[in-house]
A and B are shown apart, each in its own frame.
Chain A
Amino acid sequence: DIQMTQSPSSVSASVGDRVTITCRASQDISSWLAWYQQKPGKAPKLLIYAASSLQSGVPSRFSGSASGTDFTLTIRSLQPEDFATYYCQQAKSFPLTFGGGTKVEIK
């Protein structure tokens, strides 16, 4: 199984800050990586697929990048509605696996 290691597990940030979340795959997954946002009591929402493609309707302040087996989600200028938990997921093979999550909290 492909393991996804996400860091940090939590980050405190202020509105307007740039936030970076990292996910590392245990083996090559090419660009088969997605990012989700989950707010308390809500279902996850797809933000980015294929490592760097923005899902329709997602603000452009969200971006994704890849370097080998390392993947990054960047929020360019944090907005109040961005405080949430973020998960990565590999989409290379079954079983699908998720990272442990990163909670973005208000500083």
Chain B
Amino acid sequence: EVQLVESGGGLVQPGGSLRLSCAASNFPFSSYALSWVRQAPGKGLEWVSFISGSGAGTYYADSVKGRFTISRDNSKNTLYLQMNSLRAEDTALYYCAKGPGITGATELDYWGQGTLVTVSS
């Protein structure tokens, strides 16, 4: 069974930084694109960022462009999200999710359980 396990969330002050990780297992990691999707408390789903299987292609939501950086280490089967200049509106549960192919806009067929990021002073 595909496993995605997020970590790295926590409480951070506005303007601070945090790096999220997503450890993947039970599938050929470099063959699949991955995304980060977030959900503010009591709200809907918001896609944040995408990275292709090779890592060469990335996309970002306008709300995080220039502040967040997605990356992956295919030797460690791990996805990352470096979050800088954090704002209160970034407070959310952050999910790591897998696409069904190596690249492209697609549905997300497996999701982790999420890691909570709280931005507050």
Which residues of A are at the interface with B, using a C-beta cutoff of 8 A?
32, 34, 36, 38, 42-46, 49-50, 55, 87, 89, 91-101
Contacts and interface: CB of A to CB of B under 8 A. Distances in A.
Interface of B: 35, 37, 44-47, 50, 59-62, 95, 100, 105-114
A96 B47 contact: yes
A107 B116 CA distance: 32
A31 B63 CA distance: 27
A55 B98 CA distance: 14
Which of A32, A38, A46, A50 has the largest count of B CB atoms less than 10 A from its CB?
A46
B36 to A, nearest CB: 11
A43 B111 contact: yes
A44 B108 CA distance: 9
Nearest to B47: A96
Nearest to A46: B109
Contacts of A95: 47, 59-62
Contacts of B114: 43
Contacts of A43: 95, 111-114
A94 B105 contact: yes
Given A43-B95, A43-B114, A96 B105 contact: yes
Majority DSSP secondary structure for residues of A touching B: loop
B47 to A, nearest CB: 4
B44 A87 contact: yes
Given A96-B35, A96-B47, A98-B44, A46 B61 contact: no
B59 A91 contact: no
Contact of A91 (B45, B95, B106): B106
A94 B44 CA distance: 18
Contacts of A32: 105
Contacts of B60: 95
Give 6 nearest A-B pairs by CB, closest first. Answer: A34-B107, A43-B111, A96-B47, A94-B59, A49-B107, A98-B45
Contacts of B37: 44
Contact of A45 (B35, B111, B112): B111
